[in-house]
Structure 1
Amino acid sequence: MIDLTGRIAVVTGGAQGIGAATVTRLAEAGATTIVADRRLEPAQELAATLGDRVHARPVDVSDSSSVRDLVQSVVADFGGLDAWVNNAGIVEDSRALDMPDEVWQRTVDVDLTGTFFGAREAGRHMTAHGGGAIVNISSIAAYRATRPEHHVAYDVSKAAVAHMATVLASEWASAGVRVNAVAPGYTNTEILKGVGSADPEVMAAWIAQVPQGRLIEPVEIANVVVFLVSDLASSITGQVVHADAGYTAW
């Protein structure tokens, strides 16, 4: 039902996890898709498996000039920019009283400031060229104090990312730019699988808090993102979709 043929889409942090699943689904829907990642080699490897419509580009989302260069190169190489997915992010488990300054700053730089840089640069192009769609990847941690893990820098950054979508959507609506966010629940990514393998009790605790009693697959989040950037979501802007298997219902 979703046809993105002729659209140009960028996914930051697109080399693995939710990002890679989103790249895949965008390409399957017909979009020319750019895997933008700080780690260029895995981005290139993913692009090589998905065909001629997928291309890899380096980016450090915490560096505004790097994000600006990415947007300029995409527009120059492919003729435009229609969809931007702010997916790049990091998380580090650390209790607040023990959190080093550098962990706080690095997390905010990537998860919050990096999302703003991406939205701003994409928005500059889209507001000047007839519109587009931006999706920020937030988290259930923006709405609940998660347990048993502790990562306050990540949590408050993701809360801000969700609200950022509302604020930017209001500012750019008249220019035809839609901005939304997705708040995934516990998703079966490489990071979560690593934690679960190291500590099965933590994984069991996570699943026990989810009404559906399972982890979400990355493609399930990707499906929501692809819907939000498509014309099927033409009336949806300034919203946060909780794709969390019911986690925030409890």
Structure 2
Amino acid sequence: MAESNNDRAALTARTIPHMTLSSGTTSSMTGPPAPMPHYLTAEGRAIKRFAVGGIAILTGGAGNLALVIARALLEHGLEGLALFDLDPSEAESDITDLKTDFPTAEIMTTQVDVTDAEQLRLCVEDVVKELGSVDILICFAGVVGCTHAVDMSAAEWKRTLDINTTGAFLSAQAVARQMIKQGTGGSILFTASISAYRTNYPQPQAAYNASKAALISLKSSLAAEWAVHGIRVNSMSPGYMDTILNAGDGIEEARRTWAKRNPMGRMGVPEELTGIVVLLCSGAGTYIHGADFVVDGGQCCF
């Protein structure tokens, strides 16, 4: 009883930390961007508006979505790229193509487990040593499983949340610490899902849905805390994408169901995510913060 009373006394006597919000002045990390130079032509202004600079880290970097996004960022001027993945060698050919097609960009690969905070810290340090800074983080690392909830093991539940949600948080934390140290701000983008908004059909995937819904909340929390440092945090929520994760004869019936329930009558392709990513990583997105962008062909209309 005495211990319980002590715990209660400590609870009622506690103080809590308070967030610091930015002042938004020109001298703060969230001041308005400088006006476009007058000497630029209309074409020059258009190019500059969506120019992407600096160094980006992509987790799950050997995956199809990440590689398509990487190419788009490089096309818009990204100077350096670090692809974090459990096994970067799986995409060796595609990564070689990126290096060939963008010879002036510095591209590195690193074997990383996003659930290991210390490993992430060291890998971010390596990126800074090799490429100079970290200005953009996009989290693609994730897993999906389709198991009836009554049959799901605790291990499967924990693994899904650990990789999809905790892995995204630890990646963002490691990068945010570096961005704060640099004093340069930056852009962090989570890959959530339409599964965060409504239960998918016909496949049962409670753990995946919960992990993505948590990312939407995490995005907002970090956006509130990190704006003062000039770090913008957003997320995108793709619908069903035509990638290796949704391929194979075994899920053909599910693919037909997804298409029938979509106003556009089809799945998306990875290239259709590039516009949102470029927007959020470029100068065109400087006042977009704490937002989630659903890119699903209208799937969530129903």
| TM category, shorter | over 0.9
Q: CA deviation at 1:210?
A: 1.2
Distance 1:247 1:49 in 2: 34
Q: Which of 134, 151, 154 matches 2:208?
A: 154
Task: Write the mapping of 1:93-172 to structure 2, written as runs, cut at 5 A.
Answer: 93-129=146-182, 130-172=184-226
Q: What TM-score, normalized by structure 1, do the two folds share? A: 0.95
Q: Equivalences for 1:235-246 in 2 at 5 Å?
A: 235-246=287-298
**Cα offset for 1:46?**
2.5
Alignment of 1:65-84 (within 5 A): 65-84=118-137
Are the counterparts in 2 of residues 37 and 43 from structure 1 also a CA contact under 8 Å? no
Which residue is equivalent to 2:230?
A: 176
Whole-Å separation in 1 of the counterparts to 2:181 and 2:283: 19
Runs of 4+ in 1 over 3 A off after TM superposition: none
Shift of 1:43: 4.0
Name which of structure 1's ranges 88-97 and 124-133 shifts more when overlaid on structure 2: 124-133
1:69 CA displacement: 1.6
2:75 aligned partner, one-letter code:
E
SS in 1 for 2:294: strand
**Aligned position for 1:202:** 254
The answer to whether the Cα contact below 8 Å between 1:61 and 1:67 also exists between their aligned partners in 2 is yes
Q: Which shows bigger deviation, 219-228 or 91-100?
A: 219-228
The amino acid across from 2:187 in the alignment is A
2:67 and 2:94 in contact (8 A); partners too: yes
Counterpart among 186, 192, 196 of residue 246 in structure 2: 192
**What is the alpha-carbon distance in structure 1 between the residues aligned to residue 216 and residue 93 of structure 2?**
31
Number of residue equivalences: 247
1:56 aligned to 109, 112, 125, which one? 109
Q: Which amino acid aligns with 1:77?
A: E
Name stretches of at least 5 consecutive residues in structure 2 with no aligned partner. Answer: 1-46
Distance 1:133 1:203 in 2: 33
Query: 1:88-144: CA deviations, max 9, x gaps?
Result: 000110011000111111111100100000110111111232200000000000000
| Structure 1 residue 40 corresponds to structure 2 residue 88 | yes
The 2-side partners of 1:74 and 1:216 are apart by 32
Is the contact made by 2:84 and 2:110 (CA closer than 8 Å) also made in structure 1? yes
SS of structure 2 residue aligned to 1:85:
strand
Q: 2:64 maps to which residue? A: 17
Cα deviation digits, residues 172-210 of structure 1 (max 9, x gap): 11110000000000001111123xx22321110011111
Equivalent-residue separation in structure 2 for 1:249 and 1:127 (angstroms): 39
Q: Which amino acid aligns with 2:288?
A: I
C-alpha separation in 2, matches of 1:57 and 1:44: 12
Q: Which moved more, 1:13-22 or 1:74-83?
A: 13-22
Structure 1 or 2, whichever has the larger Rg, is 2
